[in-house]
A and B are shown apart, each in its own frame.
Chain A
Amino acid sequence: MELPENLNKDSNGYESAEKIILRWDSTASEDARERMIFETDRQEADLYLQAVDEIQRSLSNVSISTSSNAGKNANAVDDQSKVNTTIQIAMARLEDEFRNILITHSSALETDSLFDPSSSSISTPSHHELEEDDTLSNDDSSHHHDLLQLQLQHCESSDSSTYRSTSSIREVDLMPSEAICDLQAIAMRMISSGYLRECIQVYGSVRKSAIDSSFRKLGIEKLSIGDVQRLEWEALESKIRRWIRAAKVCVRILFASEKKLCEQIFECVGTDIDDACFMETVKGPAIQLFNFAEAISISRRSPEKLFKILDLHDALMDLLPDIEAVFDSKSSDSIRVQAAEILSRLAEAARGILSEFESAVLREPSRVPVPGGTIHPLTRYVMNYISLISDYKQTLIELIISKPSTGSRYSGDQTTPDMEFAELEGKTPLALHLIWIIVVLQFNLDGKSKHYRDASLAHLFIMNNVHYIVQKVKGSPELREMIGDDYLRKLTGKFRQAATSYQRATWVSVLYCLRDEGLHVSGSFSSGVSKSALRERFKTFNAMFEEVHRTQATWLIPDTQLREELRISISEKLIPAYRSFLGRFRSHIESGRHPENYIKYSVEDLEMAVLDFFEGYPVSQHLRKRSQ
């Protein structure tokens, strides 16, 4: 066979190169099929790569020679075909080797040698997202967590204080550097021979399944929007917690490390190839990851979801710069966009939930009065809710940008309260919403108070509830700052007013019994007191006081200080009035028969009796005459 001159020159090199290639043609021999070169024989691997280079060189020479001969030379065509076939055999081989190296090293990370079971005890996490590790039902996921931590430890043993952190991008070496060198060497040859597509294909398929197994260990599930809609909220809450933790690991460690690996293998091989490989690997997993957050962002809105949605929002907001850094290429545009879309939907959901909460508070329909005029469950719920809101102040101040949609003073709408914005100049929209919620709550409570048949109890109810609101606001510095002292004073005024109204409603008529008018018989001089009128007075007073004592002992003021204050205030009016009444008229009764029927109680008895008030227990017997 007559070889073209230039081929002839290197014919020895070419022929031995071809021999090597053909020896490893897996379609030709059992041995070639079973053994992997790079796995078993370092020296042979280098020889093989050299052989490929040699063949490639001949191919370009042949191309030049055949094109200059315009393809007339049949031998040249033959040669070219032969070289092409050899290249194809070599590329098929390299593809298999490439895949084999990838597969070998994508499982290496998960071997037990890296995983030290005692390492679970090292997690006394400083970082808050790790605190809830015990909530993971899936042992695998914590296993993987430890695994990742260990890898990080391996990589950055010098910096042991931060190795566990997922608060910033932390690339891990997914493969040993020798493997990366081999992959690079193979990739270079596949790409220069025009086998870029095969290379990307193989790379993507192996790494994708590696990511998939990491996903399973992290507990990232495949859930449809329908699945998410059907799940109970409690179940979703724990899934959200897990997702937040997993997403941090995914973006900052998993995806970032994948990106680094692509760069390590492909960056020097050609432009944008690393990027193509990265997206081939990560696009599907990234979409799968974000699908869950997206499903949450469009789920049905209800008040209890607000805080987890805000958690999710904050986590994603926090991740966004890193998502943008990891997915910075043009081809990963769609992933950046999707993350931003989800973030804006979550923000929208938070706004929607807040306004839904407001209307729920306004229209909460329960009509059965709480016994004893104590704090209504709605009040507790709403106040706990808004103090939680104040915990999320930082986020919500950014998200809540419009004032609440309140009723208007002049609308004449009886179903919605008013709110005077003029007095609240300079408040953030969030603060206005919080005040509005309190306004709406009071409006609803006022409505509920009307269901008490006893006006005194209605006042006591309002006093208790508004006092509770004030205490709750004062108890949280954040909340207090947002609500503001002005509005707080207003609220304080309101419960004080309710206390006054209560006293008036209950005690004016009782104290009325202790007045002088109507007891003196006109015309008489020294003892001008009508005994029968006086006896009637004492009897009325006793009966009224007993009745008030009996009922109001069962009423409840849960706040001890408030209870104390109100009792003192009652005593301050009742005791002096009774004492002086007794002082003035005692002798008139005691001079008659059965004085004990009319003066049943000493001053001390009454003082003691007032102490029974608002304890929430029925007094077992009749008001006892303790001084006897």
Chain B
Amino acid sequence: MPATDYQGTSSPLTNIGRSLLPVRRDQVHAMESPIGGSASNEAEIESFQRRVAERFHDLASVPSDELLSLPWVRKLLDVFLCCQEEFRVILFKNIALVKKSPMDRLIADFYERTVKALDVCNAIRDGIEQIRQWQKLLEIVLCALGDSNVGYQRSLGEGQFRRARKALIDLAIGMLDEKDSGQALAHRNRSFGRHNTSGSHSRDHHHRSLGHFRSLSWSVSRSWSAARQLQAIGNNLAAPRGNEVIATNGLAVPVYTMGSVLLFVMWALVAAIPCQDRGLQVHFNVPRQFPWSAPILWLHERILEESKKRDRKNACGLLREIYQMEKCSRLLGELADSVQFPLSEDKEREVKQRVKELEQVLDALKEDLEPLEKQVREVFHRIVRSRTEGLDSFAREHNPE
């Protein structure tokens, strides 16, 4: 390969590699400064705990109609990124301690947890892609029933409704959770009963391929389970014992904190976004003495409650916008099944109202879905980076044999 090929790509890499070093050196220096020592370390850990608590208080203080909305999920990820960054700084300042027992084991456990979170990030990325597919189907509905693309007051005819209904059927099938697809088929027959008699040969094929399509959208193997992955992340996550805290000069506390934050954030993502084999039965046994335990436990409880609501029980994701998509499409589907032509003014008004709601949901998705996808990717990167840094610094000291 000619050397010129490398110029473009290899130089950014070196920058990444290098940018870390000065940071490390500065921080090592800071640790050695005369003010340093364990008192300032303790204060730092203390303030980390406090800031984590504040951030989750902030997240928990949303009214229930904003909980699990796209902006809330994005804020949640922001919180994660901030905590992760502060945690990383604490580790660097204490790099010598991190390499000693029992910290080395605690931190190795932590990195194990984070690697497991990477698969959740990828699953969530797939889930976001799936929401995007639903979004596209709803855009067809909007296109059929909305008036944005026509410059005059157009009355809605049967043709438009047929078009919308087709997209709504696809959406309903697409939104079904895989595990209750049998139940779902019955549901489809009921709610689109009038139309079912006319299900054509190729349309059946089409629906089969839609189901197939959904399985294609997961990039992990069919046996992968978000629920099990969450359990693995939370495995053996226990508050440090007193002697551990002392032996690690207090560092065991932020490690536990970050482990809990990781678990909660991943759990909340799985709760909100569709992914393979969702399941929310993860135990949070956070002792009350941690200042952040109260808001996290409260959020946990509220999200669990949300998942138990009758109309959310079988949802493929608790994301508020998904709920709104479902609701909108269900109401529109019912309307489409019941209307007579020509439309009465009442019906027409009702349809217009629903379409307007639909438009709002789609606007929200348009606004936040892509940034959310980028953020999930950023979480992925940060986890990888912090782990790589950890591995690198271990490599210098540890005997790999």
Contacts and interface: CB of A to CB of B under 8 A. Distances in A.
Given A33-B200, A77-B155, A405-B396, A291 B122 contact: yes
A370 B221 CA distance: 48
Contact of B122 (A26, A198, A225): A225
A347 interface: yes
A344 B16 contact: yes
Contacts of A352: 388, 391-392, 395
Which residue, B170, B209, B212, has most C-beta atoms of chain A within 10 A?
A: B209
Given A96-B200, A283-B129, A224 B392 contact: no
B25 to A, nearest CB: 13
Contact of A284 (B3, B201, B217, B388): B217
B219 A288 contact: yes
A71 interface: yes
Interface string B153-167: 111011110110011
B158 A103 contact: no
Interface stretch (B85-93, B94-102, B113-121): B113-121
Interface stretch (A79-87, A175-183, A481-489, A518-526): A79-87
A222 B384 contact: no
A173 interface: no
Contacts of B224: 222, 224, 226
A224 B14 contact: no
B216 interface: yes
A89 B158 CA distance: 10
A347 B209 contact: no
Given A88-B163, A96-B202, A201-B137, A317 B158 contact: no
Contacts of A92: 162-163, 166
Interface in A387-416: 394, 398-399, 401-402, 405
A287 interface: yes
Contact of A99 (B1, B118, B206): B206
A508 interface: no
Interface in A95-144: 96, 99-100, 103
A540 interface: no
Nearest to B155: A77
Contacts of A197: 136, 139-140, 143
A359 interface: yes
Given A287-B125, A352-B391, A84 B221 contact: no
Contacts of A26: 198, 200, 202-203
Interface stretch (A204-212, A564-572, A586-594): A204-212
A150 interface: no
Interface string B359-401: 0000000000000000000000100100110011001101111
A222 B17 CA distance: 31
B205 interface: yes
Contacts of B30: none
Interface string A404-445: 010000000000000000000000000000000000000000
A221 interface: yes
B96 to A, nearest CB: 16
A223 B221 CA distance: 6
Given A91-B163, A355-B395, A399 B202 contact: no
A356 interface: yes
A363 B212 CA distance: 53
A205 B201 contact: no
Contacts of A198: 140, 167
A320 interface: yes
A229 B224 CA distance: 14
A66 B151 CA distance: 12
Contacts of B36: none
Contact of B391 (A84, A291, A301): A301
Interface in A350-390: 351-352, 355-356, 359-360, 363-365
Interface in A571-604: none
B5 to A, nearest CB: 7
Given A223-B221, A225-B119, A103 B210 contact: no
Given A348-B388, A360-B401, A301 B219 contact: no
B159 A85 contact: yes
B344 interface: no
Given A198-B140, A225-B119, A81 B221 contact: no
Given A81-B158, A209-B209, A225-B115, 18 more contacts: A67-B151, A80-B154, A92-B163, A208-B213, A209-B213, A284-B219, A287-B125, A298-B115, A298-B384, A298-B388, A300-B391, A301-B395, A344-B13, A347-B13, A352-B395, A355-B396, A360-B401, A398-B10
A-B pairs with the 9 shortest C-beta distances? A81-B157, A88-B159, A85-B159, A84-B159, A27-B198, A26-B200, A288-B219, A356-B395, A344-B13
